[in-house]
Structure 1
Amino acid sequence: MILLADDEPAFQRLTAGWLRSLGHEVITAGDGDTARSAFEAHGADVVLLDLAMPPHHDPEAGLALIRQFAPSPVVVMTGHADQPLALKAIEAGAWDFLAKPVDPDMLKVVVERALERARLARELAAAQAREHSAEDMGLIGQSQAMVSLRDLIRRVAPTTLPVMVLGPSGTGKELVARAIHAASPRAARTLVPVHCGAVPADLLESELFGHLKGSFTGAHADRPGLVETASHGTLFLDEIGEMPAAMQVKLLRFLADGSYQPVGARDVRHANVRIIAATHRDLAAAVAEGSFREDLYYRLKGVVLKVPALEDRAGDVALLARVFLRRVDGAPAHFAPGALEWLEGHGWPGNVRELRSVVECAAALAPQSPGGRVIGIADLAFAMGEDAATAVAESPPPSSRQSLQEEVMELERRRITEALERTGHNHTHTARELGLSRVGLLKKMDRMALR
C-alpha cells in the first residue's frame, strides 16, 4: 500500500491515478494530520510526502513528519527543491527526494525500489525474530505439552486473529504472548503489556487510550495511551478477567473498528493493534455469572492457547531448574546428585514461577566448595519452607542415570562455552567447529541459558 500525502488536489488525483494504473493500492491525504492518522490506521509500505502542506505550509514541519512514518520508506516530493533541503530530508530519514514537477517514469522507478526495500525489511525482521526466538521460542521444555504449544504459536503468529492465552498463575502466559509477537509480521514493532488488574479502575481508561491536558486533576500535559504506543504492534492485556465492567464497554468499541477517544478528547482516533489477552480465570463462568461481557468474550476469544501447569509437563522440571541455575549471578553452581530427581517428584502449585524462585533462593544459600556452590536436597527443601532433615531422610538415593545425564550436560555446556570464547561468540563459526548446524547450536544455547 502507498500513502500519498499532498495538498494539491490536481497533483494528488493524477499521481494516485497513475500509481493505481500500475497496480498499486493508494490512499491519499491532504495535510499532515490526516496523513499521520491514515498511517496509524492502515499502515503503508511506502509514503510519498509533500513537505509543504497545511496547516503550516512550511517544509520544516514536513521534515518533522518523516520520522513518524518509520520504518516505512518515505519519498519526499516538493516544489521547494534545493540541495540543503534535500540533505535535511535525507538526514531526517527520507528514502529518496524528488523535485516537482515529478517525472512519471522516475516516480515509477523510485516507488518500485522503495517497495522492494520495504519487502526486504519485513523479511529481515521476520528472519531475525525467528532466529532470536530460536527453536524453543523462549518457552523452555521438551514435554509433549510444550512441543504442542510451540507448534500452535507458530501457526497462529502469522495471522491477525486475536489470541486468548489461558493457564494457571505462574505458567508463563506473557512469554507465550511475546513468542507470538516475535514470530509475527509485527515483530519489528512494539509489544506493550498492561496488567488489567494492577491499574486502578479510574485510571485504566487513561492508561490505555491516553488523555489530554486538563482532562482531570493531575493531567498536566497530553499523554498518549498504550494503544497508541502499540500501534502496528501488539497489545497484551494480562489478566483481562479483572477489567472493570465500564472499561469492558470501551474496549469492545476499540476491538470493533480500532477507534478510541483519549480522556478529554472529542475527536475519534484509530490504531491498528493486534490484541493478545490472558487470564487464569474461567471467563466462560464469568460470562455466565454476569461479571464479564459475553460480546467482549467472543471478540477476544479468537484462538485459544492453553499453557500447561508444570505438573503436566513431564520431564521439564529438571531442564528448567538447570536453566534457572545458569542464570543466577555469582560463582558457578551445580546440583548435587539426587537434587533434580527430588525436584521432579515435588508438586508445584506456583508452577514455573515457584520453581524459579526456589532455585534462585537455594543457589544464594548453598555452601561454597572448591568447585563452586553445590545445591543439595537440604538447600532446596529449606528454600521451599520444608524441613531439610526430613526431606533428605525421605529422599531416595540418586539414580546413576540422572547423574550421567548431568555429567553429559556439563560437558556439553563446557565444550560450547570454550568454542564460543575461541570464535569471539560467532555462532556460525562455533557451530562449524562443533559439527552442529547453526540452528542446532542456538537451540542448545537457549536450553543451557548461554545466550
Structure 2
Amino acid sequence: MAAVKLLVVDDEKDLLELLVKRLKRKGYDVDSAENAEMALPLLKERYYDVAVYDIRLPIVDGITLLKETKKIQPEMEVLMLTGHGTIETAIEAMKFGAFDYLTKPYNLSELELTIAKAMENKILKEKNESFKKIIKQQNQFHIIGQSPKFKDVLELTKRVSDSDVPVVIEGESGTGKELFAKALHYWSSRADEPFVAVNSGALPEQLLESELFGYIKGAFTGANQDKKGLVEAANGGTLFLDELGEMPLSLQVKLLRFLESGEFRRVGDVRERRVKVRVVAATNRDMNKEVADGHFREDLYYRLNVVKITVPPLRERKEDIPLLINYFSSQAKQHEKIFSEDAMKKLQSYSFPGNVRELHHLVERGLLLSRGNIIEEEDLLLSHQRKNVSDEENLLCTLDELEKVHIEKVLKEVHWNKTKAAEVLGISVRNLYRKIELYSLIQ
C-alpha cells in the first residue's frame, strides 16, 4: 500500500523539523512548509491525503489556508493546531471543513492517532462515494438473454467472478464483452472497489504507457505534476483491458511483469509501486493467430488466459432478440411503439454482423423513422437493404479496393467522426487511423 501523503505547515521551525522526522519514521510521506505562501504551490503540484496546519501563521493564517486548501483539494482531510487562546477559532475551522483540532502543547502520539483517524475518515468517504456510483451503475447494468448458450456463458461468469485469476473475454464486435467484464467485477467481493477500463486501441503507443502506469513530474515535456495511472486507480478492484490485441509489443513486456509481480513504475520514476488488481481483458481477434503471427507475446497471452469467456454472436442466440428489442425499446422515449410481426420476423432472420450493438441501433432507427406506433420492416433499413458499397462497374475489384471504398463511405456518413466510424466498422480507432493512412483517405 502506498504511503500516506502528509503536508505539515507550522512557522515554529524547530517544532516543524521534529514533526517531520517523527512522521517520516512512522512511514508517512511528508512535505513541510513554514507558511501558507510556501504551502499553496505544494498543494497545486502534489496530491495529499492529510494536512496539519497551525492556526497562527504569519501573513496568511491557518483558517484562510484551510479555505484555499478545500478549493484546491476538497477531498483532503485537514487537522488544525491551536493554542489555548484560539480554541474558538479552531472550532470555527470545523465549519470550513477541518476534520479535527489539537491544542498545543499536544502529545505526538495523540497527533499520530488523529492523523490515522483522519485517514480512516477519508477512506470511508471515498468508499461511500464509490458505493453511490456502484448503485447508479448497477441500476444501469443489464445483461439480457435466456438462450441456452448465453446462459452457459453467464453461469461461467458468475462462477469465476469472485476469483482473482485473470480472464480473457473473446467475442465479435458488438457482442457485449464489456458488460461481461463489469459482471465479473460487480458480482464479486470487489464490487465496492473501482472498475477501470482502458482501450488499448484508442490511444497512440507513446501515450498508452503513461495512461496505464502514470508518470512523475518532469518525465516528459508537459508533465507538470505527478499523475496516477489507471493501474493505481484500479487498486483493489478490476482493470479492464479492452481491445487487447491492439496493445503494442513494447508495452506487453511491462504488462507481463506487472501481472507476475503486481509491481510497476510510473514513467520517469525509479521507484517500484505495488497494487493489487484483478485483470480482465477483451478482444475480438483470434489471439492464437496473433501469437502465431508474432503480434502478441505468447507468455503474456497464457498469463492472461487463465479463464476464457467466449460471448456468442447474436446469430447464435436468436431467441434472445425479442428480449433485447423489448429492453432497448423500454429505454427509449418512444417506448409505446411496437414492432410489426413482419418486422420482428425480419429481425429474427437477419444475420446481425454487428451483433447486439447493431440490433440496438436498428431499434433506435425503427423508433425514430416509424410514422405511427407500429414499426414496419421498411423502417429498419437492414444492411443488406442499403445501397451497395460501390456501383456495379466496381464490383470486380480487390478486397483492399472494396475496403477503401467502404471505409470512406462510412466516414462520410458519420461526418468523419473517427470513434463512431470505428464502431460502425467493428474495428478499433487505432486500426481505423492506420487504414486511413494506408488508403490515403482525405476529409
> Which TM bucket (shorter chain)?
0.5 to 0.7
The residue that corresponds to 2:197 in the other structure is 193
Do the aligned residues in 2 keep the contact of 1:126 with 1:183 (CA within 8 Å)?
no
Q: Is the aligned partner of 1:32 residue 2:30?
A: yes
TM-fit CA distance, 1:253:
2.1
TM-fit CA distance, 1:240:
0.8
Q: Is the aligned partner of 1:101 residue 2:107?
A: yes
Q: 1:153-302 to 2 correspondence within 5 Å?
A: 153-212=157-216, 215-216=219-220, 219=222, 221-222=224-225, 224=227, 225-302=229-306
TM-fit CA distance, 1:239:
1.2
Aligned structure 1 segments of 4 or more residues deviating by more than 6 angstroms = 1-13, 58-61, 67-71, 74-81, 96-99, 113-128
- In 2, the alpha carbon distance for the partners of 1:269 and 1:117 equals 22
What amino acid is aligned across from residue 226 of structure 1 in structure 2?
Answer: L
What amino acid is aligned across from residue 269 of structure 2 in structure 1?
Answer: A
- In 1, the alpha carbon distance for the partners of 2:236 and 2:284 equals 27
Q: 1:52-451 to 2 correspondence within 5 Å?
A: 82=87, 84-85=89-90, 88=93, 92=97, 94=99, 100-101=106-107, 129=134, 133=138, 137-212=141-216, 215-216=219-220, 219=222, 221-222=224-225, 224=227, 225-329=229-333, 332-366=336-370, 368-369=371-372, 372=373, 374-380=374-380, 382-386=381-385
- In 2, the alpha carbon distance for the partners of 1:177 and 1:201 equals 24
Do the aligned residues in 1 keep the contact of 2:213 with 2:266 (CA within 8 Å)?
yes
Q: 1:195 to 1:2 in 2, by over 3 A?
A: closer
SS of corresponding position for 2:385: coil
What amino acid is aligned across from residue 138 of structure 2 in structure 1?
Answer: S
TM-fit CA distance, 1:195:
1.5
Q: Deviations over 1:298-327 (max 9, x none)?
A: 332233222121122241111112222333
Do the aligned residues in 2 keep the contact of 1:362 with 1:383 (CA within 8 Å)?
no
Do the aligned residues in 1 keep the contact of 2:315 with 2:351 (CA within 8 Å)?
yes
- In 2, the alpha carbon distance for the partners of 1:256 and 1:337 equals 54
The residue that corresponds to 2:393 in the other structure is none
Q: 1:119 to 1:312 in 2, by over 3 A?
A: farther
Q: 1:269 to 1:88 in 2, by over 3 A?
A: farther
Do the aligned residues in 1 keep the contact of 2:245 with 2:287 (CA within 8 Å)?
yes
- In 1, the alpha carbon distance for the partners of 2:97 and 2:147 equals 50
TM-fit CA distance, 1:295:
2.2
Do the aligned residues in 2 keep the contact of 1:361 with 1:383 (CA within 8 Å)?
no
- In 2, the alpha carbon distance for the partners of 1:222 and 1:49 equals 19
Q: Which runs of 5+ in 1 are unaligned?
A: 14-26, 34-47, 389-451
Q: Deviations over 1:84-128 (max 9, x none)?
A: 45765785574x667743889xx79x97x9989989997997799
TM-fit CA distance, 1:210:
2.9
- In 2, the alpha carbon distance for the partners of 1:214 and 1:75 equals 28
Q: Deviations over 1:52-74 (max 9, x none)?
A: 79xxxx9979x969x98979xx8
Q: 1:98 to 1:182 in 2, by over 3 A?
A: farther
- In 1, the alpha carbon distance for the partners of 2:29 and 2:122 equals 26
The residue that corresponds to 1:51 in the other structure is 52
The residue that corresponds to 2:441 in the other structure is none
Do the aligned residues in 2 keep the contact of 1:166 with 1:279 (CA within 8 Å)?
yes
Do the aligned residues in 2 keep the contact of 1:5 with 1:29 (CA within 8 Å)?
no
TM-fit CA distance, 1:363:
2.4
Q: Which runs of 5+ in 2 are unaligned?
A: 7-17, 32-48, 55-60, 388-443
Q: 1:161 to 1:209 in 2, by over 3 A?
A: same
Q: 1:98 to 1:154 in 2, by over 3 A?
A: farther
SS of corresponding position for 1:170: coil
What amino acid is aligned across from residue 383 of structure 2 in structure 1?
Answer: M
SS of corresponding position for 2:271: coil
Do the aligned residues in 2 keep the contact of 1:122 with 1:185 (CA within 8 Å)?
no
Q: How many residues align?
A: 347
- In 2, the alpha carbon distance for the partners of 1:80 and 1:153 equals 59
What amino acid is aligned across from residue 143 of structure 2 in structure 1?
Answer: L
- In 2, the alpha carbon distance for the partners of 1:144 and 1:255 equals 34
Do the aligned residues in 2 keep the contact of 1:137 with 1:150 (CA within 8 Å)?
no
The residue that corresponds to 2:419 in the other structure is none
Q: 1:144 to 1:295 in 2, by over 3 A?
A: same
Q: 1:270 to 1:92 in 2, by over 3 A?
A: farther
Do the aligned residues in 2 keep the contact of 1:339 with 1:375 (CA within 8 Å)?
yes
What amino acid is aligned across from residue 101 of structure 1 in structure 2?
Answer: N
What amino acid is aligned across from residue 133 of structure 1 in structure 2?
Answer: Q
TM-fit CA distance, 1:293:
1.5
What amino acid is aligned across from residue 384 of structure 1 in structure 2?
Answer: S
TM-fit CA distance, 1:175:
1.4
CA RMSD of aligned residues (A): 4.8
Which region of structure 1 is more displaced relative to structure 2, 177-186 or 352-361? 177-186
Q: Deviations over 1:134-172 (max 9, x none)?
A: 6x9511112233333333333333333322211111101
Do the aligned residues in 2 keep the contact of 1:170 with 1:352 (CA within 8 Å)?
yes
What amino acid is aligned across from residue 166 of structure 1 in structure 2?
Answer: E
- In 2, the alpha carbon distance for the partners of 1:89 and 1:232 equals 31
Do the aligned residues in 1 keep the contact of 2:315 with 2:352 (CA within 8 Å)?
yes
What amino acid is aligned across from residue 199 of structure 2 in structure 1?
Answer: H
The residue that corresponds to 2:418 in the other structure is none
TM-fit CA distance, 1:213:
5.1
What amino acid is aligned across from residue 204 of structure 1 in structure 2?
Answer: L
SS of corresponding position for 1:51: strand
Do the aligned residues in 1 keep the contact of 2:130 with 2:193 (CA within 8 Å)?
no
